[in-house]
Chains A and B, each alone.
Chain A
Amino acid sequence: MRHRRYPFIIGFLVVPVLLYAALVIWPYLQTFGYSLTDWNGQSQQMHFVGLDNYTKLAHDEVFLGALGHNLLLLAVLPVATVLLALFFAFMLNVGGRGGTARVQGVRGAGGYKVLFFLPQVLSVAILAVLWEAVYRPDGGGLFNGVLLKLGLESPGHPVEWLADPDLVLWCILGVLVWAGTGFYLVLFSAAMQSVPRDVYESALLDGAGRPQTFFRITLPLLWDTVQTAWVYLAIAAMDVFALVSTMTVGASYGGGPDHRSEIVATYLMRNFLFFGKAGYACAMGVVIFFFTLVLSVVALRVTRRERIEY
């Protein structure tokens, strides 16, 4: 009955593959097509302009700045999030000592897990509102309120967090790390729990301290998971649209002050819907697509290691 296997498999796959082709592959191909035109987004009329949009992009300072910001996020976001999440996961699962030789987390680990994971449950809209209140530019904001009470800033000139060109991107990054750490903490925790206890116990018996346990045992055994987290975070760093467009200064999708928090996604949307330069926006979409693609491949290749079986 071997020949019956293929119809069976195809029967399962045909619908998802069709859906994927129609809703993902085809739009991507269309975007490539549109990026070669001067389509304005509201009409069927368009002209083929070859690679004009791409040449313009190469000279568009705002676009290059936006790309630079994405790359900065790309450099910092995965490192910060993964390190924090790894550290917390380690402390919550194997970091506790409690006088006995048992492998366990710090006291109250369960509670911490809930606490850390909480931001993940909030929608991005709520995150934005919440952090806007934290970053509020007058004494009513959490940060400014504390700084004022401590006498660290004058009431006449509070820090305008999200309106300060040198701080705004870091403020956004802070929210991203805060919101992302919990998820990766749980991810790493799950991975750590699948590491056999006796590995840790034997390390303890051999007198390994926390740093040694972490670097010699935990990290190598978690490498696959860390790698996955890295790729996800890298892709997230190329996006960040929701937070920047809602929280930062500037008309139509934020990105201010003065493009200092501009990212490709906000500039893309502004061009697409606001300036009526849909073809140009599609070209940006294509650029970001290739960036993300190359990054993912590179990240997976560079970090590839031998898998450890246990």
Chain B
Amino acid sequence: MSTGAGYNRRELLRRAAGLTALAVTGGPLLAACAGGGGGTTGGATAVASSATNPLGVDGSAPLEVVIFKGGFGDDYAKAFEGLYAKTYSAAKITHTPTQDITGLLQPRFNGGSPPDVVDDSGAKQIKLDVLHKAGQLADLTALLDAPYLDDPSRKVRDVLQPGTVEHGSFDGKMYSLNYVYSVSGLWYSGKLFKEKGWTAPKTWAEFITLCGTIKAAGVAPFCHQGKYPYYINVAIMDLLARQGGREIITRVDQLDTTVWDGPEAKAAISAIYQLVDQDYLLPGTNGMTHTEAQTAWNQYKAAFVPCGSWLENEQLKLTPDDFEMTFLPMPSLPGDKLPPTSLRAGADEPFIVPAKAKNVAGGMEFLRMMLTKAGAGQFAQQANAVTVLKDGIGPEVKLRPGTKSAVAALGAAGTEVFNYDYPNTQSAFDIELGNASTELMANRIKPEEWLKRAKAAAEKAKKA
């Protein structure tokens, strides 16, 4: 995992945790961590809020920050801490970088003494739905309603990219600030396409026709990261969202089982199945890791790969200089309810403030400082990634071709961006859906069976 070890792929890379959690006896051992320790609540600070201090931060209270040190490193967090220290010079700031969030924090959550800010990411992220159900996350509504630091006439909630609040919410309240903004779709090499005289398709029919041309030219039209069904699932579910509109996204998230009987789901899965049926997949792609598949794509062995906009950062070392990595929103199906420019854009890399932290107000203030041009600029420079702060990147930040094309697509999409909640709120359903997609891509089941399985998974998750 050389770079961008994360964003939402962390769900899949979680398996890497297995390497360190080798012994199965980890079960009982982990359980042991939970014993003892009562539920002490923090809240040592009770400073009245004011115009300059809307969150009521006790400037002398210490602040403990735990950062997942992955592809982004942790220098950006030190920069944020610098911002905090500038305003609250009396506060003692503790900075803890780690790659093992679960190992470090599970005992502390259980013991009732969590830190004040956590970047809950990486292979060993503690699942947010689990934390939320356990009442461990502070409600961030106060942060959303606080003034934006760069322009106090606006509230923080007004300067966030669309979907940020929803994606960090449970039951209508925001509990996590997902700081990095990424888009999902297909990717191709501008150089390869120019060389061969291919043009990027707009509709699914054009896409399938082009796949035929590509195959005839001796290149595999499509590859995906088959070992982790997350990627192809994103493609399938994006087609479904386009076809059924926002209403169907809500229904999927709410585990409405009738979604899977409808024509929209059928259209989406049948479209994807064309790739399998017509043998357009890169040989072996169903068993490949993300690195293997994406590298084959970088080597011009396959024309398209589905991925999020972290792809460029992740493949930085393996991409030829003249590759011209280019983003393409999913091609559109006939009868789509959302426009062809619409795409999945999501906020990831969740930052949370634990409900039982000693300095909840300070934690929220820290998040507020991240949401400034100074903070977002720092992040873009350190991590080559865009944050959820609208217009947070000034002209001085130079973007790479892939990121540039993704940002352009985001601009074209305008407000027509969407995202699903179910991967965060319905983990079991998500996994079952992924299993079904693995079977479909290997041509072991047909679209009808996939729909049946999706419905069964939703029914099962609803009961649980």
A residues touching B (Cβ–Cβ < 8 Å)? 23, 26-28, 30-31, 34, 39-45, 124-125, 128, 132, 135-139, 141, 144, 155-158, 160-165, 239, 241-242, 245-246, 249-254, 256-259, 265-266, 268-270, 272-276, 278, 281-282, 284-285, 288
CB of B281, distance to nearest CB on chain A (Å): 10
Flag if A246 contacts B18 (CB, 8 Å).
yes
Whether A242 touches B283, Cβ cut-off 8 Å, given contacts A41-B106, A282-B31, is no
Out of A43, A241, A278, which one reaches B135, CB within 8 Å?
A43
Other than the given A44-B38, A44-B110, A276-B134, 15 more pairs (CB < 8 A) read A26-B32, A40-B130, A40-B134, A42-B109, A125-B19, A135-B287, A137-B288, A160-B287, A160-B442, A249-B228, A251-B229, A254-B15, A257-B444, A274-B431, A276-B129
Closest to A29 in B: B28
B428 CB–A CB distance under 8 Å: yes
Out of B130, B427, B442, which one reaches A257, CB within 8 Å?
B442
Flag if B127 contacts A274 (CB, 8 Å).
yes
CB of B300, distance to nearest CB on chain A (Å): 15
B438 CB–A CB distance under 8 Å: yes
Whether A137 touches B287, Cβ cut-off 8 Å, given contacts A30-B31, A250-B435, A250-B438, is yes
Q: Which residues of B contact A284 (CB under 8 A)?
A: 27
Whether A41 touches B34, Cβ cut-off 8 Å, given contacts A31-B27, A242-B22, A251-B11, is yes
Out of B37, B130, B135, B289, which one reaches A45, CB within 8 Å?
B135
Whether A273 touches B31, Cβ cut-off 8 Å, given contacts A41-B130, A44-B110, A44-B112, is no
Out of A158, A252, A282, which one reaches B27, CB within 8 Å?
A282
The docked-state distance in angstroms from the alpha carbon of A31 to that of B289 is: 34
6 closest A-B pairs (Cβ-Cβ)? A43-B134, A138-B284, A137-B287, A245-B18, A276-B130, A163-B287
The docked-state distance in angstroms from the alpha carbon of A301 to that of B427 is: 44
Flag if B428 contacts A278 (CB, 8 Å).
no
- Pick from A45, A138, A144, A242 the residue with the most CB of B within 10 Å: A138
Flag if B39 contacts A30 (CB, 8 Å).
no
The docked-state distance in angstroms from the alpha carbon of A136 to that of B293 is: 11
CB of A68, distance to nearest CB on chain B (Å): 17
Out of B29, B34, B131, B436, which one reaches A34, CB within 8 Å?
B34
Flag if A43 contacts B110 (CB, 8 Å).
yes
Whether A163 touches B438, Cβ cut-off 8 Å, given contacts A41-B130, A45-B134, is yes
Whether A253 touches B286, Cβ cut-off 8 Å, given contacts A40-B130, A45-B135, is no
The docked-state distance in angstroms from the alpha carbon of A237 to that of B18 is: 17
Flag if B431 contacts A285 (CB, 8 Å).
no
Q: Is the interface of B mostly helix, strand, loop or mixed?
A: helix
Flag if B431 contacts A270 (CB, 8 Å).
yes
B197 CB–A CB distance under 8 Å: no
Out of B29, B35, B296, which one reaches A138, CB within 8 Å?
B296
Flag if A252 contacts B135 (CB, 8 Å).
no
**A-B contact number at CB 8 A:** 203
B447 CB–A CB distance under 8 Å: no
Whether A163 touches B28, Cβ cut-off 8 Å, given contacts A42-B109, A252-B11, A256-B438, is no
Flag if B427 contacts A274 (CB, 8 Å).
yes
Within 8 A of A (CB), among B263-314: 279, 282-289, 292, 296
Whether A251 touches B230, Cβ cut-off 8 Å, given contacts A45-B134, A163-B286, A245-B15, is yes
Flag if B136 contacts A253 (CB, 8 Å).
no
Q: Which residues of B contact A276 (CB under 8 A)?
A: 127, 129-130, 133-134, 427
CB of A113, distance to nearest CB on chain B (Å): 27
Q: Which residues of A contact B282 (CB under 8 A)?
A: 138
The docked-state distance in angstroms from the alpha carbon of A132 to that of B15 is: 15
B217 CB–A CB distance under 8 Å: no
Closest to B18 in A: A245
- Pick from B23, B129, B431 the residue with the most CB of A within 10 Å: B431
CB of B309, distance to nearest CB on chain A (Å): 20
- Pick from A28, A252, A285 the residue with the most CB of B within 10 Å: A252
CB of B152, distance to nearest CB on chain A (Å): 36
Q: Which residues of B contact A275 (CB under 8 A)?
A: 127, 130, 427-428
- Pick from B19, B28, B228, B428 the residue with the most CB of A within 10 Å: B28
Flag if A27 contacts B431 (CB, 8 Å).
no
Flag if B28 contacts A285 (CB, 8 Å).
yes
Out of B30, B136, B427, B431, which one reaches A43, CB within 8 Å?
B136
Flag if A269 contacts B32 (CB, 8 Å).
no
Out of A128, A239, A251, which one reaches B24, CB within 8 Å?
A239
Q: Which residues of B contact A128 (CB under 8 A)?
A: 19
Flag if A158 contacts B284 (CB, 8 Å).
yes
Whether A163 touches B442, Cβ cut-off 8 Å, given contacts A40-B134, A249-B287, A269-B26, is yes
CB of B117, distance to nearest CB on chain A (Å): 17
CB of B350, distance to nearest CB on chain A (Å): 15
Q: Which residues of A contact B431 (CB under 8 A)?
A: 250-252, 270, 274
1/0 per residue, CB under 8 A from A, across B110-153: the answer is 10100000000000001101110111100000000000000000
Out of B30, B430, B435, which one reaches A259, CB within 8 Å?
B435
Flag if A31 contacts B31 (CB, 8 Å).
yes
CB of B234, distance to nearest CB on chain A (Å): 12
Flag if A42 contacts B31 (CB, 8 Å).
no
Closest to A254 in B: B15
CB of B274, distance to nearest CB on chain A (Å): 17
CB of A104, distance to nearest CB on chain B (Å): 40
